[in-house]
């Protein structure tokens, strides 16, 4: 299934203002957004507000969606930005800041953090799987197996220049799909570890 729950045509309908598709997106992603906001804020009420604000922002900016790109990274970035803005407000109040620090110490959850990283790895892998075969192969040999351009060139019997070009194109494709700077930062973590 496309986009974990949506087909390309559904996203086009969403862009056109189809509220039925919007409700479907809300139903599928709201708990995921809540969990992400809660990781930042450690507060149920604030996290619920972030869910609402995320979907309002998402709906108002639906015309910027790309039907060929998964919705989760887009929602992830909105949620993260709203959560960080909310944190900035908390930092302005000493009492709220103390409360946040206490909750963070009590509720640090490495499993959730690992799951968020895994979601981004899966998304990145989907993009890699759509690359042309030779680019995919070069990318995987470089990033997964740690081979140098010379080693890849020898293995595939192509020039180092061709290897370099394949890597440039593969990274350009990844960056295009991960338009946000936040996600490009995560991409750097994912492909170098």
Are 117 and 103 in the same domain? Answer: no
Residue percentage of the chain with pLDDT more than 90 = 33
The predicted pLDDT at position 165 comes to: 92
- The Cα 140–Cα 158 span in angstroms is 16
Are 3 and 92 in the same domain? Answer: yes
Mean pLDDT of 160-179: 82
13 lies in which domain range? 1-108
Are 133 and 59 in the same domain? Answer: no
DSSP single-letter state for residue 28: H
Q: Judge whether 155 and 147 are in contact, CB under 8 Å.
A: yes
Q: Which of 8, 13, 36 is nearest to 23 (CA)?
A: 13
Alpha helices in 42-109 (DSSP H): 44-60, 71-91, 94-107
Query: What are 180's two structure tokens?
Result: 């946000």
Are 66 and 150 in the same domain? Answer: no
Q: Which residue has the higher pLDDT, 41 or 5?
A: 41
Domain boundary (65, 88, 108) is at: 108
Residue-wise pLDDT tens digits, 95-104: 555 565 555 5
- Minimum mean pLDDT among 9-23, 90-104, 151-165: which range? 90-104
Instruction: State if pTM tops 0.75.
Output: no
Query: What are 192's two structure tokens?
Result: 């170098």
- The Cα 153–Cα 163 span in angstroms is 6
Are 17 and 101 in the same domain? Answer: yes
Q: What is the CATH number of the domain that holds 129?
A: 1.10.10.10
Are 160 and 145 in the same domain? Answer: yes
Residue-wise pLDDT tens digits, 127-136: 788 889 999 8
Are 95 and 17 in the same domain? Answer: yes
């Amino acid at each position: 299934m496309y986009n974990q729950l949506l087909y390309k045509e559904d996203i086009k309908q969403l862009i056109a203002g189809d509220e039925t598709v919007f409700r479907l997106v809300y139903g599928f992603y709201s708990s995921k957004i809540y969990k992400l906001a809660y990781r930042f804020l450690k507060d149920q009420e604030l996290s619920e507000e972030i869910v609402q604000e995320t979907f309002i922002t998402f709906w108002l900016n639906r015309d910027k969606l790309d039907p060929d790109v998964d919705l989760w990274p887009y929602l992830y970035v909105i949620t993260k930005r709203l959560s960080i803005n909310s944190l900035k407000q908390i930092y302005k109040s000493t009492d709220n800041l103390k409360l946040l620090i206490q909750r963070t110490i009590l509720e640090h959850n490495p499993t959730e953090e690992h799951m968020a990283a895994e979601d981004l790895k899966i998304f990145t892998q989907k993009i890699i799987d759509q690359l042309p075969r030779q680019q995919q192969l070069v990318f995987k040999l470089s990033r997964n197996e740690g081979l140098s351009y010379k080693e890849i060139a020898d293995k595939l019997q192509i020039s180092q220049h061709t290897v370099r070009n394949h890597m440039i194109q593969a990274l350009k494709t990844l960056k295009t799909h991960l338009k946000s700077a936040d996600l490009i930062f995560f991409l750097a973590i994912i492909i170098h570890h």
